[in-house]
């Protein structure tokens, strides 16, 4: 899988309530949740998100409650990839289950600046910061997780498997 987009940065310990505040949890509609993505950080944060945005976060992104609404809100806002120093364990699995690509970069995430153009190639396990002409080796994504992502999440993947695809 290949992704290209501009970095939009957020800090450390962004919890699921900042990603999608509890007052918006009355729906599981991805597009509706996406309208309020990261409004727990800044009321109109959604306006910063462009069609090619790659969210870049610090440590422990997605900490807090285990709600699936958080990765759905990110996807609903049009973000397909989050690159972070690290992710909260439950968010990490929920993200993949919902079809959101999550990549841990450790301390090197600090080498990405707001607005940098990024290219991600999961088949080569590489992230290239085009703006700064720097490459980062990524931890491989298992074949099973790649199939879940390609299907659009765990439920569509399971439906495909049940239909023999």
Please report, in tens digits, the pLDDT of each residue of the chain (165 residues total). Answer: 899 999 999 999 999 999 999 999 999 999 999 999 999 998 889 899 998 999 999 999 999 988 899 999 999 999 999 999 999 999 999 999 999 999 999 999 999 999 999 999 999 999 999 999 999 999 999 999 999 999 999 999 999 999 986
pLDDT of residue 102: 97
Half-sphere exposure of 24 (CA within 13 A, CB side): 25
How deeply is 107 buried, as exposed, middle or buried, from its count of CB atoms within 10 A (0-12, 13-18, 19+)? exposed
> How many Cα neighbours within 13 Å face the side chain of 100?
28
Q: Which two tokens stand for residue 94?
A: 């929920």
* pLDDT reported for residue 54: 98
Domains, the chain, with CATH or none: 2-162 (3.20.19.10)
Which pLDDT belongs to residue 165? Answer: 65
81-84 vs 53-57, strand pairing mode = parallel
């Amino acid at each position: 899988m290949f992704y290209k987009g501009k970095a939009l940065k957020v800090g450390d310990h962004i919890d699921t309530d900042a990603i999608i505040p509890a007052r918006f949890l009355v729906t599981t509609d991805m597009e509706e949740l996406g309208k309020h993505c990261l409004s727990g950080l800044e009321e109109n944060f959604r306006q910063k998100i462009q069609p090619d945005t790659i969210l870049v976060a610090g440590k422990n992104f997605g900490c807090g409650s285990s709600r699936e609404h958080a990765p759905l809100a990110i996807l609903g806002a049009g973000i397909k990839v989050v690159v972070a120093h690290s992710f909260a364990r439950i968010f990490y699995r929920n993200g993949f289950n919902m079809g959101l690509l999550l990549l841990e970069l450790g301390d090197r995430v600090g080498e990405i600046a707001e607005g940098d153009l990024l290219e991600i190639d999961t088949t080569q396990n590489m992230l290239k910061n085009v703006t700064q002409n720097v490459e980062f080796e990524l931890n491989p994504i298992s074949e099973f997780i790649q199939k879940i992502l390609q299907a659009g999440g765990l439920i569509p993947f399971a439906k495909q498997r049940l239909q023999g695809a």
